[in-house]
Structure 1
Amino acid sequence: MKEVKAPTSSSYHDYLISSLKDPEHAAAYIGVMLELEEEGREPELLRSALKNVVDARLLSDNLSEEAKLHYEQLDKMLSESGGSEIYTLIEFLDALGYRIALVPKD
């Protein structure tokens, strides 16, 4: 029987960051965090997901100064509010029969 090694949390994080270099994977990853039901939301999850995407872009040398500034502002806002504004917008749109979809700009 073949020996199987479970990945360590460090190797999983490395794998995650590597996969988030792909814009479609990054969009889907953030999208999942935005679609969490209210009881599944934790303020740190969205912040962590955004940080992981930013880290992947930094490793690819693919993050503009403008994006860095927006990320810093958004991270500060999320740390203070837990993302309540974002989730309220999503719930409002859902009540209207819409949902937000993240797709790469090409």
Structure 2
Amino acid sequence: MQSVKVKVKTHEDFLIESLKDPEESAAYVSAVLEEEKPEPELLPLCLGHVAAALGGEGDRQWVKDFGTSDKSQVVYELAAWLDSLGLKLTVTVKPS
């Protein structure tokens, strides 16, 4: 009997595939920024998915470095402060 190798796509594979659309990536990052009680690991995870979909190795390294710092907490604090002023931090696709 011959063995057959089947590559199974994970949820993350499907997510990254959908994030190849810049509009989807922008909406994903914006949604994460709007979390009321975000976990510190959430933003780096999200940015890692976007880097895998749209970026290169350098982008993935940047996210890795970002994730090992406290920068994501600062971003959430900025989003919360803007929210208190009735404003919102969002991500949009840059016009080409």
With normalisation by structure 2, the TM-score equals 0.76
Provide the C-alpha distance between the structure 2 equivalents of 1:17 and 1:78, rounded to a whole number of angstroms: 18
Q: Hey, what does 1:47 align to over in structure 2?
A: 44
Q: Pick the aligned partner of 1:86 from 67, 75, 82.
A: 75
Identity %: 34
How many angstroms apart in 1 are the aligned matches of 2:64 and 2:33? 15
Write 1 or 2 for the structure with the bigger share of helix: 1
The verdict on how the C-alpha distance between 1:89 and 1:51 changes in structure 2, with shifts beyond 3 A counting, is same
Distance 1:105 1:25 in 2: 13
Aligned length in residues: 88
Are positions 1:56 and 2:76 aligned together? Answer: no
Counterpart mapping for 1:57-76 below 5 A: 57-58=54-55, 63=56, 68=59, 72=62, 75-76=64-65
Deviations 1:70-97 (A, max 9, x none): x61x642442216221111111111111
Please state if 1:99 is matched with 2:96.
Answer: no
Task: Report the TM-score, using the length of structure 1 for normalisation.
Answer: 0.70
Deviations 1:3-27 (A, max 9, x none): xxxxx7x421111010000000000
After TM superposition, the runs of 4+ consecutive aligned structure 1 residues lying more than 3 A away are: none
Q: Deviations over 1:22-67 (max 9, x none)?
A: 00000011111101112xx111111111000000114xxxx596xx
State how far apart, in whole Å, the 2-side matches of 1:56 and 1:93 are: 28
